[in-house]
Structure 1
Amino acid sequence: MKVRVIKLKDGERINLQNNSWSCHLLNKNIVGSKKAMLGVSTFTPGTDTPQKVHDDEEELCFVIKGKGSITVGEEEVPFRTSSAVYIPPGVPHGVRNTGDEDVVMVYVFSYPEYPPTHDAGEPEGGKNVQ
């Protein structure tokens, strides 16, 4: 295996609500990774994503810019530029942009692709969503 550099335009882009998006940059499909994946998301002002659950995987995030909160049920955990966010396995969570600029966030999973994920409220092993 060799060192690879992947440009944002060459990642796997997923369109989200409100002109927000995520892009998988380093994963099994793109670089052949075996144990981890990395991506970046942009959440436009006012975005409030539905809560998702990754049953078996931790999610690590770093906020490049912007401010908002991770929604966990009815609770809001605030973040801002230069913050790191840890989301344990099995915790329903979403992202809410509470500012007036885009939130740009890098995310990492210790799984070679986007991990099995379901909507909060769905049983484990339910519909796999991103």
Structure 2
Amino acid sequence: MEILGGPLFGVAGAGESHGPAVTTIVFGCPPGVTISRTAIQHYLDRRRPGSNKHGTPRNEQDKVILLAGLYQEDHDALTAGPELISRVDGSESITSGYEQGFSTGEPIAAIVLSTAKKSAHYDQFVGAAGAVRPGHT
């Protein structure tokens, strides 16, 4: 896990670029700030090939799901985000992420689901004896 702090926010992240998802938790967001999954997704999509000169050559179609730290009086509108289905030991659970709401002042949690998990893309990061180079997880 990596924790970064700035004058306004702290951010904790966990996960690998070649794993199933990256988890992010944002600390210090004051209550009442409008947070939109669609707006965050827009910035993720800018990394895709052809979207700008800094995009990755890999066609990463990552999807963000907001999980905590938002509120809206209309609960159905709040939970209109992507459906999240998990299967663990044969048991299935279905829930929806948040689409848009106001920050509560509590930490905001999100996951970015990775669709580009081809390990061959990451061969360049492997050091001697299969050790992963620092900063490339």
Both structures adopt the same fold (TM-score exceeding 0.5): no
TM-score by length of 2: 0.37
Greater share of helix residues, 1 or 2?
A: 2
TM-score by length of 1: 0.39
Which is higher, the Rg of structure 1 or of structure 2? Answer: 2
Greater share of strand residues, 1 or 2?
A: 1
